[in-house]
Chains A and B, each alone.
Chain A
Amino acid sequence: MQTDAVVSGSLRNRLVLILIGGAAVLAIFLFFAVRSYAVQVAQRGQDNILLASVTSMLDAAAFRDGVAEVDIPYAAFSMLNTPADDRVFYAIYQDDTFLSGYNDLGLLGENQGGQPSFQTRDYRDTSVREVTASRTLIGADQRTEIQIALAQTQDALADTLDQISRNAALLGLGFFALAVALSIWATQATISPLSRLTNSVTRRGPQDLSPFTKPVPQEMAPLVTSLNSLMGRLDQSLSQSEDFIAEAAHRVRTPLATVRSYAEATLLRVNKEENREAMRSMVKAIDESSRAAGQLLDHAMITFRADHLEREELDLVDLVRDLILRLTPVADMKDLTLDLRGEDTVTYAGDPILLQNALRNMIDNAMKYSPADGAIEISVRSEPVVAVTVSDQGPGFPLDEIETLTARFTRGRNADNTIGSGLGLTIAQDVATAHGGEITLRNREEGGACVILSL
């Protein structure tokens, strides 16, 4: 049976990845948002100063003796001082004619309505922020327009932005680290009810099909409900089939027992050999069918238990001794002796019911093929591996069939006259396999079969 699930990805990893990925995207977004906002604010700050400066210069423009003059206030440039010692360029024009300053610093195309305009551009191999503003002077008989372009490098701005970018990056990183920690914690917290449920399923014994009653999160309720309902149905169907088997056995065996008892009684009373032979055949047939039914049921039970092996510490010698005690009356009837040999104690962790069943089948088999007055030797040893050997003094196995003999429903060729379904060794083999061991068949040199159950 395949019990390993087909695994495709991990819920935990997926959750962590999604959360961390989300956090990373958010952190990057945060970084750019903070930075772009800071750029705007810083740029606006510089623009405001440039505007104040250019406005103060325009304010100082006036007609003197009919000539337009611009007496640049000292404060106009003073206010442009920055920690990064930014360079300052300016140009004064009157009606688009250059008056003073840097003649290569052109005016920006002005906005509608004479509003000052700003632009970031390259000038003298460096990036500058330039503002252009103008003012119309009205004299007694003339009017003229004074235009001023003022530009400043952006080193201080860049420094500020570097600083802000660093802080924003730190903020983003901090946010990310926190988010990662939170993601892992949240994932752990989310997954843990699932792990707890898995644990409690795994820890259950094979017979425990009772419903789960511990509280679980709402989202897991349908799963647990389905699981409980599945186990309920399984439990019901298992106990139903158990009951059915028991009932069937009871129904079949009771009349068989009746018939057998009457047949036996009749056999004792009749003298005519024909009738006696008929009675004997009847009893034989009954025995064969009841034995077959018993072994089929045993085999079904063993197949079921082998999937959920319930191992416990036990003494194999004790187990064998009990079994011998139980079988001695039957052996006595055939004048057979059951001899226990080997070590005094062999401790082994296994399923006692399965082991008992396997060994009983092995000894039954040996008794079946043993000649009268024979001895069956049962020995238990722990070295080199834990093993139980059952040897008889019967005819032994046909050499060419030793390999296939343990296959289900195979009976030895020389066992035609012996009642048995052939399941005995199959059951022993299944039990051995379930315990990680094997059954070995061989013939003894002095005659007789030898079956070894090694675990």
Chain B
Amino acid sequence: MKFLLVEDNSDLAGAIASRLRLDGHVVDNAETLEDAKAFVSTGEYDMILLDIMLPDGDGRTFLKEHRASDLDTPVIVLTARSQVSDRIGSLDLGADDYLTKPFDHAELEARCRAVLRRKSGNARVTIETGGVVFDSVAGSLKVAGEPINLRNRELRLLELFLNAPGQVFSKQKLADRLFSYDDDVSENAIEVYVGRLRKHLEKSDLGITTLRGLGYRLDHAD
């Protein structure tokens, strides 16, 4: 996905951008409203992450103007304030969602997915391999033409494997991606989710291999 990050704090912008790029996303960073307008007018973005407090104005002004134009790029507001009225205001002005800083990147992704799912018509990124058709935005999986209902953690687990075929994921790494940091996760829980995913993939050419002491890996059957 292609993100436009409107954030004046370069440290934070850098941190968010590097985190997003780790997941394979493309990120442009605008530090002012002026830059943001320039970026929007020249490039096409799947998602705009908008800070509210900017050096040359209020992010909500940009939001208002953006909604008035014919572009319907979804906007998620990032706010450092925690006032409810601020959030309501953002939503009223046309933000698709908001996040309070600091935020969990998993949550950001979940929200992005939810927003994109609500906005139909956008180009979808689908992965087709080994008899599996996977749409990460819609969260849909087809195995041998049969649609399969995935739960959120199963979906994210599959996405991890599909994005890095052949890579070995330790149980700890998987836990860090699937659970929030305040969850008390046992290694057993990862085994449960891997087991479920294996079952979903039974009729495909894909399989999850257990490497004792190391972790799991997605393999083609052939």
Given contacts A258-B12, A353-B88, contact A280 B82 (CB under 8 A): no
Tell me which of A250, A283, A284, A329 contacts B81 (CB under 8 A). Answer: A250
Residues in B with CB closer than 8 Å to A290 are 100-102
Cα-based distance from A252 to B111 in the complex (angstroms) = 24
A401 to chain B, nearest CB (A): 21
Chain B residues touching A, majority SS: helix
Contact B102 A333 (CB under 8 A): no
For chain A residues 234-267, which have a beta carbon within 8 Å of chain B?
246, 249-250, 252-262, 264-265, 267
Given contacts A268-B22, A301-B83, A353-B88, contact A253 B102 (CB under 8 A): yes
- CB closest chain-B residue, reference A286: B102
Contact A330 B101 (CB under 8 A): no
Contact A264 B107 (CB under 8 A): no
Residues in A with CB closer than 8 Å to B151 are 335, 373
For chain B residues 133-183, which have a beta carbon within 8 Å of chain A?
151-153, 170, 172-173, 176-177, 179-183
Residues in A with CB closer than 8 Å to B126 are none
Residues in B with CB closer than 8 Å to A329 are 97, 107, 110-111, 113-114
B19 to chain A, nearest CB (A): 4
Residues in A with CB closer than 8 Å to B173 are 268
Flag the segment in A30-38, A159-167, A292-300, A432-440 that touches B. A292-300
A334 within 8 A of B: yes
Contact A333 B180 (CB under 8 A): yes
A417 within 8 A of B: yes
Subset of 7 A-B contacts with CB under 8 Å:
A255-B12, A259-B102, A261-B102, A262-B19, A268-B173, A293-B82, A333-B107
B138 to chain A, nearest CB (A): 13
Given contacts A260-B102, A335-B152, contact A250 B12 (CB under 8 A): no
Residues in B with CB closer than 8 Å to A258 are 9, 11-12, 14-15, 102
Tell me which of B14, B86, B152, B181 contacts A287 (CB under 8 A). Answer: B181
For chain B residues 167-222, which have a beta carbon within 8 Å of chain A?
170, 172-173, 176-177, 179-184, 189
Given contacts A254-B101, A280-B181, contact A335 B12 (CB under 8 A): no
B179 to chain A, nearest CB (A): 8
Contact A357 B84 (CB under 8 A): yes
A148 to chain B, nearest CB (A): 107
Cα-based distance from A373 to B102 in the complex (angstroms) = 26
Residues in A with CB closer than 8 Å to B88 are 353
Residues in B with CB closer than 8 Å to A265 are 15, 18-19, 22
A188 to chain B, nearest CB (A): 43
Contact A332 B152 (CB under 8 A): yes
Contact with B along A300-312 (1 / 0, CB 8 A): 0100000000000
B72 to chain A, nearest CB (A): 19
- CB closest chain-A residue, reference B86: A246
Contact A257 B15 (CB under 8 A): yes
B31 to chain A, nearest CB (A): 13
Residue ranges of A at the interface with B (Cβ–Cβ < 8 Å): 246, 249-250, 252-262, 264-265, 267-269, 271, 273, 276, 280, 283-284, 286-287, 290, 293-294, 297-298, 301, 326, 328-330, 332-335, 353, 356-357, 368, 372-373, 417-419
Residues in A with CB closer than 8 Å to B37 are none
B120 within 8 A of A: no
Contact with A along B98-125 (1 / 0, CB 8 A): 0011111111001101100000000000
Residues in A with CB closer than 8 Å to B107 are 329-330, 333
Cα-based distance from A293 to B15 in the complex (angstroms) = 22
Tell me which of A294, A301, A333, A418 contacts B182 (CB under 8 A). Answer: A418
Cα-based distance from A75 to B94 in the complex (angstroms) = 116
Contact A256 B82 (CB under 8 A): no
Contact A257 B84 (CB under 8 A): no
Residues in B with CB closer than 8 Å to A268 are 22, 173, 176-177
Residues in B with CB closer than 8 Å to A335 are 151-153
Given contacts A329-B107, A356-B84, contact A254 B9 (CB under 8 A): yes
Contact with A along B51-84 (1 / 0, CB 8 A): 0010000000000000000000000001011111
Tell me which of B19, B82, B110, B182 contacts A249 (CB under 8 A). Answer: B82
Tell me which of B110, B153, B176, B189 contacts A330 (CB under 8 A). Answer: B110
B84 to chain A, nearest CB (A): 5
Contact B106 A276 (CB under 8 A): no
Cα-based distance from A293 to B151 in the complex (angstroms) = 33
Contact A417 B152 (CB under 8 A): no
Residues in B with CB closer than 8 Å to A356 are 84
B85 within 8 A of A: yes
- CB closest chain-A residue, reference B85: A353
Given contacts A261-B19, A298-B84, contact A332 B110 (CB under 8 A): yes
Cα-based distance from A328 to B152 in the complex (angstroms) = 11
Cα-based distance from A294 to B189 in the complex (angstroms) = 31
Tell me which of A284, A298, A373 contacts B181 (CB under 8 A). Answer: A284
Contact B180 A334 (CB under 8 A): yes
Contact with A along B1-22 (1 / 0, CB 8 A): 0000000010110111011001
Tell me which of B53, B102, B106, B179 contacts A257 (CB under 8 A). Answer: B102
Contact B103 A257 (CB under 8 A): yes
Contact B100 A294 (CB under 8 A): yes
Cα-based distance from A301 to B153 in the complex (angstroms) = 36
- CB closest chain-B residue, reference A354: B84
